[in-house]
Structure 1
């Protein structure tokens, strides 16, 4: 299967689920996006790495990993989001040292936090985008904002009505797709990801 190159489109703070963020990846040559729910620490770590003017007083775990890898001449070639099971994404770090390549299993949020620090490309497979990707309008954009000089991030979007997973069971596929479109329009990527998972589970 061919690999599809992704870029980070933004991070959306969840207004409905404490401590949750939606990391939104977008394919370089296309309009599909891949929302991935991640924790606050990983969201912070990714945002800090993308924001060149913010540097924590002490290195974060992913910064320590980069320092360790650089010290021992370990090169991160790429990361691949290679599997999706029950809404959970599985990823691999492709590393190289002294001409020898190794594949290391990792959480997707950690893999992306590391990829940003190494300027390593992020890939996934067509079948994963077919199953979990969401189409967005070409002109939709998301920006990273920082509340202050601390490591906290504040990225807010209009909220769609909160829906829990149980409420989806009574909806038809047509209704789910309509709600998915509404969530995407409102830039509520956390809700969109939940609806997408419900649709995928029925297919």
Structure 2
């Protein structure tokens, strides 16, 4: 069975599960998408790896894995989402060291967080996309029109973190103040706030 390469389409707050996020993958040579529900930590980890402006002061778990692998000359060649059972995706890391290849079982969210760091391609099988298409249609009924347009039009990572009433109105701050708050948020490891400030800075660029 041939492999189909996927790319990360975006991340948005899940409308179906509280406290979870929807990671959306899409075919590189097609129009189908593969929605995967992941936890908040994994969503932040993937987002931080994709963003160039946010640098955690201490390594996250996936950063530590990458450093460990680099130290011992282990390379993640690709990840494969190979099975879907009752809405749960199963994935494998295809690793290589000294010419020897090993396949390691991994949660899909962890596998993708590592794929971004290793710049490794993400693959799945035709039957997975066929099954996931059904789930996608079900999910689309629960998404509002604005979210559907966002997923269709944006190719870059978009993180729609839940708004907090305590967050100030960034539109009143200068760029210098925004950059200062961004640095403080990253230093304090408040990545949700950092992502919101980053979005405000991007709007003004």
- TM-score, structure 1 normalization: 0.70
Deviation (angstroms), 1:16: 5.5
Which moved further from structure 2: 9-18 or 44-53?
A: 9-18
Number of the residue aligned with 1:109: 109
Structure 2 segments unaligned to the other structure (5+ residues): 138-147, 162-180, 186-190, 197-205
Aligned equivalent of 2:10? 10
2: CA distance, partners of 1:145 / 1:124: 23
Do residues 140 (structure 1) and 114 (structure 2) align?
no
CA RMSD of aligned residues (A): 2.1
Partners of 1:9 and 1:141 within 8 A in 2: no
- CA-to-aligned-CA distance 1:73-105 (integer Å, 9 cap, x gap): 001000000000000000000000000000000
On the 8 A contact 1:4/1:126 being kept in 2, the answer is yes
Distance 2:19 2:109 in 1: 14
Give CA deviations for 1:115-139 in whole Å, capped at 9, x if unaligned: 00000000000000011134899x9
Corresponding pairs, count: 153
The residue number in structure 2 matching 1:170 is: none
Structure 2 residue aligned with 1:77? 77
Deviation string 1:29-87 (CA, Å, 9 cap, x unpaired) is 00000000000000000000000110111000000000000000001000000000000
Give the structure-2-normalised TM-score: 0.69
Kindly tell me: are residues 2 and 16 of structure 1, through their superposed partners in 2, closer, same or farther at Cα, counting changes over 3 Å? closer
Cα distance in 1 for residues equivalent to 2:17 and 2:92: 27
User: Does the aligned pair in 1 maintain the 2:81–2:124 contact within 8 Å?
Assistant: yes
